[in-house]
Amino acid sequence: MRKAVLPLIIMLAGCSGAESPPPESEPFSGEKQQTETQSSKENSESKVKLDAPHISQLPELERGCEVTTLAMLLQHAGQDVGKMELSKEIDRVPFEKDGMRGHPSEGFVGNMKTMDKPGLGVYHGPVAELGEA
């Protein structure tokens, strides 16, 4: 019985994906286009371009985009600091400890220097704390 039901389920599941999406229920509205244009204009007016120095995270920090970006911002602000210095100073947490994975809000999770070892990254909180220190 199970052998007969499984192919039927697979066949029916495959058929449901072939349907075309439903047509738009509302006609095109110029008001919607105007709102999107205004939103785009507001977003572009709020953007700021910085003449920050470019620092490549490679080859030293394969997962170090966060500290590399912070180094660029701090150098732009006049501080003499490099990505390697920041990579040593940022809070770190192990990738896994006692069966639990590290959390990026607590610090950089795992290995920042190589993809050959487990690693993840870090959320903005620890990066901001490092930048303000």
Please name the residue ranges forming H helices in 1-133: 2-16, 30-45, 65-76, 83-89, 124-132
Delimit the domains of the chain by residue range.
65-132
* Residue of 37, 128, 35, 44 whose CA lies nearest to 86: 128
Within 10 A of 74 (CB to CB), how many other CB atoms are there?
Answer: 19
pTM above 0.75, yes or no: no
pLDDT digit string (tens) for the chain, length 133 residues: 444 444 444 444 444 344 444 454 455 555 555 555 555 566 667 888 999 999 999 999 999 999 999 999 999 999 999 999 999 999 999 999 999 999 999 999 999 999 999 999 999 999 999 999 9
Residue 107: alpha-carbon gap to chain centroid: 15
